[in-house]
Structure 1
Amino acid sequence: MITKSGAEYAYLLEAGKALPKSLAPIPAFLCSWVSVLVLKPCLFAVISLGFGIYVVEPFYPGCEPPPGMVKLVSIICICSVAAVNCHSVSLATRVQNFFTMAKLMAIALIVIGGFFKLSQGNTEYLSEGFEDTTHDVSAIALAFYDGLWAYDGWNNLNYATEELKNPYVNLPRAIMIGIPLVTVCYFATNVAYLTVMSKEMLLESTAVAATWGDAVLGAAAFVIPLSVALSTFGAANGACFAGGRLVYAAAREGHLPEVLSYIHVKKSTPLPSLLFTTMIAILMMIPGDIFTLIDVFSFAAWLFYGSTMGAVLVLRYTWPDVYRPYRVPTFIPVLVLLISAYLVVAPIIQNPRIEFLYATIFIFSGLFFYLPFVVWKVRFRFLEPLTTFVQCALEVAPSKFAPPE
């Protein structure tokens, strides 16, 4: 129904119009504030870190690879992916298609090998899968954070709705096919891992697929790190693509510096926004404490996913007669809203951590920038030469002069 790029940001922006005019853009602004500075670059960095681990790990058999080498290779991955996306949308799409096929071939190899082991009766580790289960509501929510983080990216196409051909058909079709396919792949792959690896082995391994390959494939085990490296490179490409589009959409609405909404005059790629996302991802890579960020800020992600479900309900009430290409039963957004509330609230009530307070403060600290720069439209004249320099150096201009592909 809403064909703007930006996913949750765009939907919260439209639903916010039901609020008083002065408050309407705040939910969308806070969503972009957290997503642009933490969530999207963090996803980009974590995936690239996976690439670095699987590329370096084969050169250090039997021991953990040096963190500095892993980070260096990860940063090279980030820069390579950014270069592809900055060059052209069509190249980024071709790269995505190629590496998706490589990913599916790697998964097929692991699943076939796993089920072969299963046919030989290797069910020891599968049968003990639910031993030592905890019923702590906070621990369950934190476990869902890590599990659902693996699925993050399910909404990447929504960030580029304006660039899709026939989005009314292709967007829902991609989501309806993609998410069940990924779910089946994850489930089958984990079953395959548990045919030869215990829970303890899974937790100790820095490269689980490579450890599985050593146990099952023998001399051909090198295929697995190579395949996973290809897979993570493709996933990083998707994360960069989505992150750049979110920055572009927020800047176009005046929620970020205008120069970030400019696009290349010939290639129609959002060059400044892609470079901005890349820079933040590299900065996150340097300290190396990315997985703590996942736990702390996943509750922020689900806060905005839940808000988006609320936006669905608001728009059904305020826009009852608008054409909807497809529609799901109302109980589905209500159910996801309740689940989101649980994932946000349970860890805080059951096991309060100072990190959650820091994350909450960070979320609402965006209001200190919202008031002067969005409401009062404060502009610093001394930055205008910098904007001109960026325009000339990158050959970019406002999107109205060169709309995206």
Structure 2
Amino acid sequence: MDGVERKRTEAQRSMIKDSDLKRDSGIPERVTLKKEIGLLSACTIIIGNIIGSGIFISPKGVLEHSGSVGLALVVWVLGGGVAALGSLCYAELGVTIPKSGGDYSYVTEIFGGLVGFLLLWSAVLIMYPTTLAVIALTFSNYVLQPVFPYCVPPYIATRMLSTICIRNYESLTPQVAFMFNKAPSIGQIALAFLHASFAFSGWNFLNYVTEEVVDARRNLPRAIYISIPLVTCVYTLTNIAYFSSMSPEELLSSNAVAVTFGEKLLGVFSTLMPISVALSTFGGINGYLFTSSRLCFSGAREGHLPSLLAMIHFKHCTPIPALLVCCTATIVILCIGETHNLINYVSFINYLSYGVTIASLLYYRWKKPNLYRPIKVSLLVPVCYLLFWALLLGFSLHSDPLVCGVGLVIMLTGVPVYFLGVYWKDKPKCIYDFTEWATYLGQRVFFVVFPQIDPIEVAEWTDRSSFTSKASGPL
């Protein structure tokens, strides 16, 4: 017994010594994604991702398609209301299925691999690279606007800079506000909503980093409930400020709405406006990269993307390969698209993924009625959202079939990719050998490893999920 005790004591001392060495060298004791996002940080992620650039470019598209100042303001307020309905549904899904990855993780869990892969495919190819490209282009346009005040900034200059960064109160009177330059069709109003929805995109991004949120079951819904009404208020007041300082014609002809607004009101201090917008968009890019890289990470962890993307840096605990994939895809999109067309593409696919995810909530309620749900929203919330969603997508597809149709085709190209890359298990040995070699090379270059899973945390979620839904009351 003395020999056994002696060996045990020596082993414990060795473990303590190794732990001290790791601490001194800066290497974490357990290589995993860290839970460091509190309530305040969670709110800043949502608000920063939403406000990033949308409010500086979408007002032009919303006014152009709505046809009047008054209807444009109505679209902005209703856009915030729709985002609030969607965020309530995502709050329930986020605490019921506590995985990082947002829409993709929920749809994969509920509808299976193919539907989840199609969402992942469209997000990695179009949704997030395009959004990052639009934010980067906004950054470059606002930085270059003071240099080219009377013309559009050169194409090459905006792309290069984007790559580096990866009082007219009469307009608000009811008689003038609802004076239409042209009578908008229902399809045009739907497109105005798509532009507004682009400005509100990001309200679900905290769900992509659920595993890094401290006490996610409390802080995730709280952050959503605080952030969405605040952003809706800011957007509405900002548009009122725009319309009170410039005419609709001036807003539509402006290459940088906030710069024109600053020139009208700030005089010699108008140069502060492009600097402020550049800082906002630069922060938005940082937030989008932070959350979208976690989507690639989650997809690789489920086996839907190369396993290298599921690895994190052994010291900094960040998914370096996933970040590089997001940056590369964004640079490619930057070279092939124009800002407002890109917004139409990404807004349609965004809304499509939102609707599928919220439909999965209803299916999950029917499939697993006794599952423990810390938050349980009224069924009216997802039903109302889906009704609006179906009308909006239908009229958008009718009004602009080319742009929306291309988005659908790109999403459906993921079907053969799924069956060849994921479903087909008996691939030739040479493919597996190449994949293994590429993964090994990536690990050596980026110093990445698979994250370690905490078994205590997994057991904790499993135990809680075994409770019946009687413990969860209605919201």
2:211 is the counterpart of 1:162: yes
User: Pick from 179, 182, 185: which aligns with 2:231?
Assistant: 182
Shift of 1:182: 0.7
Question: Cα offset for 1:320?
Answer: 1.7
Q: Distance in 1 between matches of 2:259 and 2:361?
A: 42
Is residue 2:443 matched to residue 1:355?
Answer: no
Matched, 1:233 2:282: yes
Structure 1's unaligned 5+ residue stretches are 17-23, 79-116
Q: 2:424 corresponds to which residue? A: 376
Residues 311-340 of structure 1, C-alpha deviations (whole Å, 9 max, x = no match): 111111222222222222110011111111
Residues 137 and 159 in structure 2, CA contact (< 8 A), matched pair in contact too: yes
> Alignment identity in percent?
40
Which of 372, 391, 406 is equivalent to 1:342? 391
Match of 1:308 in 2: 357
**d(CA) in 1 for partners of 2:193, 2:378:** 25
User: 1:364 aligned to 2:459?
Assistant: no
CA change 1:43–1:3 in 2 (3 A) is same
Instruction: Please point out which of 437, 441, 444 is paired with 1:392.
Output: 444
C-alpha distance after superposition, 1:332-368 (max 9, x if no partner): 01111111111222222x3362333332222111110
Q: What residue number does 2:104 align with?
A: 9
2:330 is aligned with 1:286: no
Amino acid at match of 1:74: S
TM value normalised by structure 2:
0.71
Aligned-pair RMSD on alpha carbons?
A: 1.8
Question: Contact conserved, 1:33 with 1:363, CA < 8 A, in 2?
Answer: yes
Aligned to 2:164: 76
Q: How many residues align?
A: 353
- 1:91 equivalent in structure 2: none
Where in structure 2 are the equivalents of 1:3-402 lying within 5 Å?
3-16=98-111, 24-78=112-166, 117=167, 122-127=168-173, 128-132=176-180, 134-348=183-397, 350-351=398-399, 353-377=401-425, 378=427, 379-400=431-452
Structure (1 or 2) with the larger CA radius of gyration: 2
2-structure distance, mates of 1:224, 1:29: 41
The letter of the residue matching 1:25 is G
The residue aligned with 1:86 is none
- Corresponding position of 2:5: none
One-letter amino acid matched to 1:192: A
Alignment match, 1:19: none
Give yes or no for contact 2:209–2:294 (8 Å, CA) kept in 1. yes
SS in 1 for 2:245: coil
Give the gaps of 5 or more residues in structure 2: 1-95, 456-475
Pick closer, same or farther for the CA change 1:321–1:367 going to 2, 3 Å: same
For the 8 Å contact 1:264–1:402, the answer to whether it is kept is no
Q: Tell me the TM-score normalised to structure 1 length.
A: 0.83
Distance 2:331 2:159 in 1: 9
Aligned counterparts of 1:213 and 1:242: Cα–Cα separation in 2: 31
Q: What do residues 24-81 of structure 1 show as CA deviations (whole Å, max 9, x unaligned)?
A: 2111111001011110111111111111111111122233222211221111111xxx
Task: Specify the alignment match of 2:24 in structure 1.
Answer: none
Instruction: Check conservation: 2:344, 2:404, Cα contact below 8 A.
Output: no
